[in-house]
Amino acid sequence: MEEAEKNEVVQVDQLPSYNLEQITILDKSWKTIRGIHSVGFYFLMATCIFGFGLLALPTQLELFLFLLLFPVTLCLINIWLIHKQYQVEGYIIREKDIYFQQGFFWTKRMVIPFNRIQHASVHQGPLERSFKLSKLRIFTAGGQSSDLTIPGLQNEEALQIKAFISEQTAQSKAGQDGEL
């Protein structure tokens, strides 16, 4: 009869730690791109309100001005939030995994071990291309969308990380095949 598998208790002080001082903050141009997206969206919203106000509210100037201030206020809040988020968004690449965190109010932290990664890809939109930035998308098993997207990387940096992930993934899979 086989010996039962052990399931020992692991103390919290024995867990691996993340030195968040080593985090690589995203490129500063990423903050600019996000600001451009934000201003564009709220400009479109203000334009719609302006057009609606000219047609429907020509006699109610106070309401019209209040509705026009709404997207401006939201845009300023969003730009402040983009600045705050930029200060905490970043990644750490270690020997066996990649760590990514984002968010200011609601923080999301992800760790993906290289042996779980199926493939990685590098993408650019038109605005990103003009700033020479890319997004690195990492895919794990069982899904068609990326499990992790790291935006705001310099093109060369994104390609280097992708190559490193591909190399680590190949080594992990070769090690798993050797164990079978």
By CB atoms closer than 10 A (0-12, 13-18, 19+), residue 98 is buried
DSSP track, 54-121: HHH-TT-HHHHHHHHHHHHHHHHHHHHHHHHHHTT-EEEE-SSEEEEEE-SSS-EEEEEEGGGEEEEE
- Residue owning tokens 């024995």: 14
The CB density around residue 44, as the number of other CB atoms within 10 Å, is 11
Domain boundaries, the chain: 28-85, 90-179
pLDDT tens by residue, 43-72: 999 888 888 777 766 667 777 777 788 889
CATH of domain 90-179: 2.30.29.30
0.95 surpassed by pTM: no
pLDDT tens by residue, 118-149: 889 999 999 999 999 999 999 988 766 678 99
pLDDT at residue number 2: 58
